[in-house]
Structure 1
Amino acid sequence: MANILVVDDELGIRDLLCEILNDEGHTVEVAENAAQARAARLRERPDLVLLDIWMPDTDGVTLLKEWSAAGVLTMPVIMMSGHATIDTAVEATRIGALAFLEKPITMQKLLKAVEQGLARGSLRKLITPASSVVSNASLVLDTSSTVSNQSAADFFPQVTQSFMLDKPLREGRDEYEKAYFEFHLAKENGSMTRVAEKTGLERTHLYRKLKQLGVDLSKKRS
């Protein structure tokens, strides 16, 4: 389970998110403003941060910029707001936020975003030692019907992913795919059935792909 930092100036929101995440087995640290969030990030080294945009002292986007500029945005950050615009969501994602959730946040959408964030964070830790990796995740929006009427091009930012860019395309792609499948195999305790479901591949195709990439299956169970 993960260590999650919840940053929100509303006590009710902090308590609700803390209760939900604790029930899922996570360790939760809370902060009601940017100053407390800075201290908690240094003290706890969270695996993921849920960060409110509108706060009285320093807003969440400004804090996100601060962490990014200082080179300490090493954990996935999910932005939260009940009043943010598409431009705000796009700006936050360009800076480095993984996702944006609109309040009121349902339990299902919260847990899905947290699961995706932790998975992305684990993958980043897995592949970072191999090269200098700059990988901002694609925007995950939970927004109103107004947003849903926009095309993807309207609110998905152009995100740069440099994964072993000094290598030929095929070689770099193969190394990424190998890391991707090894991550999911580890996460699913070697279950080929669950990995196939998770990645959307048929088991036969998955086996062929893993053998092609040179993934060691000797310790994997089916």
Structure 2
Amino acid sequence: MKLVWSPETASKSYLDTVKLCEKFKESEVAEFLSAMAAGWNAKFIVESWSNNGPIITSFGLAVAARNTGARHVCIVPDEPSTVQYTKAMAEIGVSPPPEVVAGEAEKVIPRLLGLDFLVVDCKQREFDRVLRVAKVGNRGAVLACKNAWQRNVSGFRWNKALEKGTRVVRSVFLPVGKGLDIAYIGSTSGKVVTTNKGPSRWFKHIDQQSGEEHLFRK
């Protein structure tokens, strides 16, 4: 199984987010992530949020979750943050609201099994540890780091940040907002099941319609 791109769902989610966030400035990150999560038909979206931080990304992910029927979980540091986050989402009329889980993100993430779309904030010191302990589903996952400009200067590399054995199928850095670094990964184990008992090789295939690049072994 793998994630499959749907341009129609991506476009709908993008436009819905534009409408919801029209009164906010610099909302392109929310719109872009909303389109990505919906376009990849994410079924389990996870993000983290810090007290008094920008909340607009959650609006976009909530729109995507509504369009794909996904479970949407936001991790906040404590109970006061839960109240603040829930109130902010209610005030803008986000429905249904995301699930809110209070606790340290790196301790909560391992309990959220099977996620397929994860957004972390590079301003949070533990963002790399959160990436390392994420448990993705058997379709793989899309991992997104926002506010990534400063982090990239420090020499961040996906293959070093993720759990050993994770297969990074494709990654890209985009000049959206303060930088978005995105990776499409296989299952956490990075293993590809095959019935061929002889020597195997990796092959690259580019979808002529979507332009997607896929890696497979046979």
Normalised by the length of structure 1, the TM-score is 0.42
Determine which structure has the larger helix proportion and give its number.
1
Which has the larger Rg? 1
Normalised by the length of structure 2, the TM-score is 0.42
